[in-house]
């Protein structure tokens, strides 16, 4: 297998960063729900996470929103177009 292009590596790095951000948002949502009983804030955080996920966590080939709980590695394929997500960019 050939190495990823610069664009592919950059996208992979972006996805990894987004996974961390997403976990953080969910953790904050859980904290605001459990400890602060702040339902509006919980909803805002979850909606923000879903919004970011559908805008940023998409297949670069066909635009399908991906499941950000999936592991990110070089040979991940898109469930819709079956292309390698980080290859051929």
**Contact region with Zn ion (CB under 5 A), list: 2-10, 17-25, 26-34, 51-59:** 51-59
Binding Zn ion (rule: CB under 5 A), the pick from 41, 46, 78, 89 is 78
DSSP codes of every residue in 6-59? HHHHHHHHHHHHHHHHHHHHHHHHHHHHHTS--HHHHHHHHHHHHHHHHHHSB-
DSSP character for 73?
A: -
Identify which of residues 76 and 78 has a Cβ nearer to Zn ion in the complex. 78
Identify which of residues 46 and 58 has a Cβ nearer to Zn ion in the complex. 58
Binding Zn ion (rule: CB under 5 A), the pick from 44, 48, 59, 72 is 59
Q: How many CB atoms lie within 10 A of CB 16?
A: 12
| Phi, psi dihedral angles at 23 (to 5 degrees) | -60, -40
| Min CB(86)–Zn ion separation in Å | 12
Binding interface with Zn ion (CB under 5 A) = 59, 61-62, 64, 78, 80-81
């Amino acid at each position: 297998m050939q190495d990823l292009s610069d664009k592919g590596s950059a996208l992979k790095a972006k996805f990894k960063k987004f996974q961390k951000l997403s976990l953080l948002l969910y953790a904050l949502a859980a904290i605001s729900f459990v400890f602060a009983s702040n339902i509006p804030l919980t909803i805002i955080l979850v909606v923000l996470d879903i919004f970011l996920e559908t805008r940023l966590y998409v297949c670069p080939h066909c635009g399908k929103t991906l499941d950000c709980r999936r592991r990110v590695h070089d040979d991940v394929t898109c469930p819709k177009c079956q292309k390698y997500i980080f290859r051929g960019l």
